[in-house]
Amino acid sequence: MIVVMKRGATQENLAAVVKKIEASGLRTHLSKGEEVTIVGVIGDKKTIANLELQMMAGVEKTVRITEKYKLVSRDFHPEDTIIDAGGVKIGGDEVVVMAGPCAVESLEQLREAASAVKACGAKFLRGGAFKPRTSPYDFQGLGEEGLNLLRKVADEFNLRVVTEIVDKDDIDLFCKYADILQVGARNMQNFQMLKALGKCSKPVMLKRGLSATISEWLNAAEYIMSGGNEQVIFCERGIRTYETFTRNTLDLSAVAAVKELSHLPIIVDPSHGTGRWKMVAPMARAAIAAGADGLIIEVHPNPEKALSDGDQSLTPEAFKDLMSSLGGIAKVMGRSL
């Protein structure tokens, strides 16, 4: 349930409402906009149903929320949330680009990639240090050495770090190196990991599961937020369908859906979304036109020799061409790049 306060409600009115809710053993979540203050009520459904708040001073109305996700919902938080990740704001007027290789392979490879993406305007260096692969015989990443290289090279080029975490026991380790902890598609419903991430202080980028509905995706984010970490960024990376030409089917309608249902920012991964480097640029442009707050793109100095996902990785030259085409679209959407 949400409690909508009147425009002229006083702090005393608000405090009285919060006190009554919390005295019933429920939690509250305040959302203060420029004109309206909303009190979200979280907890046992029966207890909420028995609350009598409509007649309290300063209360305009109460609204029942039928969705299972609450903190993620725009009903609880009508205004867009902007997340600060290492000093870079995601969800505001600027479209934020994250780019780099799928996997960290060496210092030289990472430096070359970082230099290229930084020169083109990227704000984050992406790269996998722990790689959850379909085959156990594929390259699994460099582990903590890879994390160390990411941080070292990112700092050298004044970039932030986003990288995928695959084990909840590694959260403290990742927090030492990364500015954003990425939850991959295969772990979207790893609820123990989501609960643990709810207790960490770093922003979390939650990728959509391989066959997840939007509701399941939003509820996965609720696990993180209900633990106390409200710094969640959605990432649409394509879903599994009957189509075989592309690696996945990039669902750009999900951008519009998430924007309607949630206040949290959403970025798009056209690399995993298509699996084909020639399709990355058109899908990246379409993502910005659909309202995405950012992009995460795979860029490798030598894709044909990449140890992971070379077929979907852009060369530095192709990435430069893409970035030069995005500014105009962002401007049309009332944003900057």
Both 236 and 317 in a single domain?
yes
Q: Is 69 contained in some domain?
A: no
Domain extent, residue 218, equals 83-332
Are residues 217 and 306 located together in one domain of the fold? yes
Residues 31 and 164 in one domain: no
* Domain count for the chain: 2
- Residue 43 — very low, low, confident or very high, per pLDDT cuts 50/70/90? confident
Q: Is 318 among the domain residues?
A: yes
Let me know if 152 is exposed, middle or buried by CB neighbors in 10 A (0-12, 13-18, 19+): middle
Residues 92-124 have pLDDT tens digits of: 999 999 999 999 999 999 999 999 999 999 999
Asked if 317 contacts 112 with a C-beta cutoff of 8 angstroms, the reply is: no
70 located within any domain: no
Contact 301, 116 (CB under 8 A): yes
Q: How do residues 282-324 score in pLDDT, each as one tens digit?
A: 999 999 999 999 999 999 999 999 998 899 999 999 999 999 9
Are 302 and 207 found together in one domain?
A: yes
Same-domain check for residues 213 and 125:
yes
pLDDT band, residue 133 (cuts 50/70/90): low
Does 37 lie in the same domain as 132?
A: no
Give the model's confidence band at 82: pLDDT under 50 very low, under 70 low, under 90 confident, else very high: very high
- Percent share of the chain, pLDDT over 70: 99
Residue 103 sits at the vertex; the CA angle it makes with 102 and 108, to the nearest 5 degrees, is 115
Q: Would you place residue 163 in the very low, low, confident or very high pLDDT band (cuts 50, 70, 90)?
A: very high
Identify the domain boundary among 31, 63, 95.
63
Does residue 138 surpass a pLDDT of 80? no
For the ranges 37-41, 220-224, 233-237, 274-278, the lowest mean pLDDT is seen at 37-41
The answer to whether residue 180 is domain-embedded is yes
User: How large is the average pLDDT for residues 142-147?
Assistant: 92
Residues 55 and 87 in one domain: no
Q: Which two tokens stand for residue 169?
A: 């026991």
Q: What mean pLDDT value characterizes the chain?
A: 94
Q: Are residues 33 and 180 in the same domain?
A: no
Residue 45: inside a domain: yes
- Burial zone of 111 (CB within 10 Å; 0-12 exposed, 13-18 middle, 19+ buried): middle
Examine the domain organization and report whether 53 and 98 are in the same domain.
no
Whether 337 maps to a domain, the answer reads no
Rounded Cα distance, 190 and 212, in Å: 13
Q: What CATH number does residue 51 fall under? A: 3.30.70.1140
Q: Are residues 32 and 113 in the same domain?
A: no
Residue 89: exposed, middle, or buried by beta-carbon count in 10 A (0-12, 13-18, 19+)?
middle
Q: Which residues of 290-312 are buried (b: 16+ CB within 10 A; e: fewer)?
A: bbbbbbbbbbbbebeebbbbbeb
Q: Which of 63, 93, 109 is the last residue of a domain?
A: 63
* Within a domain: 73: no
Say whether both 49 and 161 belong to one domain.
Answer: no
Any idea what the CATH number is for the domain that residue 121 is in?
3.20.20.70
β-pairing verdict for 27-32 and 37-42: antiparallel
Does residue 175 form part of some domain? Answer: yes
Does residue 242 sit in the same domain as residue 273?
yes
Domain boundary pick from 10, 28, 63: 63
